[in-house]
A = this chain, B = another copy of it.
Amino acid sequence: MGEAVRTVGYVGIGLMGRPMALRLLGAGVPLTVWGRNPDRIADVVAAGAALAESAAALARASDVVITCVSDTAAVEAVVFGPGGIAEGAGPGKVLVDMSTIHPRRSREMAERLRAETGMGWIDAPVSGGPPGAAAGTLAVMAGGSAADHAFVQPVIRHLAGAFTLMGPSGAGQTTKMVNQVIVGGCKSVIAEAIQLAMNSGIDATRLPEAFAGGRADSSLLRQSVPKMVSGDFTPTGHLRTIMKDLDMVMELARETRTPMPMTGLATEIHRMMVAHGHADTDTTSVIALLRDKPVL
Interface of A is mostly: helix
Contact mask A180-214 → B, CB, 8 Å, 1/0?
Answer: 11110110111011111101111100110111111
Say yes or no: is A226 at the interface (Cβ < 8 Å to chain B): no
A122 CB to nearest B CB, Å = 14
Instruction: Verify A182–B213 contact, CB threshold 8 A.
Output: no
Which residues of B sit under 8 angstroms from A269, Cβ to Cβ? 261-262
Name the one of B137, B161, B256 contacting A196, with C-beta atoms under 8 angstroms.
B256
Contact B259 A290 (CB under 8 A): yes
Name the segment of A30-38, A46-54, A58-66, A164-172 touching the other chain. A164-172
Q: How far is the CA of A167 from the CA of B209 in the complex (A)?
A: 13
Q: How large is the interface on A (under 10, 10 to 19, 20 to 34, 35 or more residues)?
A: 35 or more
What are 29 A-B interface contacts by the 8 Å CB criterion? A127-B211, A127-B214, A139-B210, A139-B217, A162-B210, A166-B206, A171-B201, A174-B201, A175-B202, A177-B196, A177-B200, A178-B193, A178-B194, A178-B202, A178-B207, A179-B216, A181-B192, A181-B193, A182-B186, A182-B218, A185-B192, A186-B186, A186-B189, A189-B263, A192-B259, A192-B261, A196-B258, A215-B223, A258-B290
